[in-house]
Amino acid sequence: MRHKQRLDSPLQSKLVALPESRQLDVLAGLFERRQARVLRIPLVAIRDAPDQNPVTRWIKDFIVNPPDYLIILTGEGLRRLISAARRLELESQFVGALGLVKTVCRGPKPVQSLREVKLDAWVRAALPTTAGVIDSLHGINLRNSRVSVQLYGEDPNHKLMDYLRSCQLDACCTVAPYVYLPASENDEVKNFIQELASGRIDLIVFTSKPQVHRLFEVAELFDLMSHLTRGLRETRIAAVGPVVREALQQKGCNVTIMPKSAYFMKPLLRATEAYFDSITDDG
């Protein structure tokens, strides 16, 4: 297999930490092609919910009695629901029922997951956050409607559910088709936090909210919170989108890099290159 040609880039020789797991090889390849030095530290792995019984019941109910609205918070979630339906030999029935439902998507990734089964989103939130979803729902009369919500991991999303409870729905249910689990041993993450505190890492790239939570959980476990906060203060931080940025900001972190609109890996890479190019010009 022929290797792609290396590219001149302001990222050359920069030490970049990647907490990504699911698409780690893809993301690492993008940075390595631009001659960055990559430190791989996968923090969380995504797995099917260990108890599939609630997911199975939800899928069967969805097929027999589709809701009026389905709120899709993640593309990962919809893909795993489709995979679960396939294992039950109900994929065509599930996708058929999905086509009858008004889908409200949190952002571009759920929209993309619908397109993979040749369906279009009914509404896409202008901002891919819970607040963006709620803002989109403000223009819809949900009274006496049946609404189902695909959750983000195991996060109960109290903010969204509280809003839906205020809408006088006929019924509301949720499904959590996947969970986040540690992808690296605690000692590996501990060593990474100490490396981060050394100031030698130029950039850390966060691609999901659970990565942020996992890093801070391990820091608290090993009494390394001061090391982590110092390391993050001295390291440039990139976030793939507003949800991740908000999670970091809630921890007191300064996010310097984020794509302007398309919250995917390649736009994130371009935003990172543009940032380092700008500070090279300034310096």
Domain ranges of the chain: 15-43+183-282, 48-180
What are 96's two structure tokens? 């058929």
Tens-place pLDDT, residues 205-246: 999 999 999 999 999 999 999 999 999 999 999 999 999 999
* pLDDT value of position 26: 95
Q: Give φ, ψ of 170 to 5 degrees.
A: -75, -40
**The CATH fold of domain 48-180:** Rossmann fold (3.40.50)
Chain center to CA of 201: 23
What is the tens place of the pLDDT at every residue in 39-80? Answer: 999 999 999 999 999 999 999 999 999 999 999 999 999 999
Nearest to 81 by CA among 67, 69, 91, 68: 91
**CATH of 15-43+183-282 among 3.30.530.20, 3.90.800.10, 3.40.50.10090, 3.40.50.20:** 3.40.50.10090
- Domains 15-43+183-282 and 48-180 fall in the same CATH topology: yes
Which of these, 262, 266, 265, lies nearest to 108 by C-alpha position? Answer: 262
To the nearest 10 degrees (0 to 180), the angle between helices 209-221 and 186-197 is 90
**How far, in whole angstroms, is CA 184 from its chain's centroid?**
18
Q: What is the mean pLDDT of each run of 10 residues along the chain (283 residues)?
A: 75 97 94 96 96 98 98 97 98 98 95 97 94 96 98 94 98 97 96 97 97 98 98 98 95 96 90 92 56
**Whole-prediction pTM:** 0.86
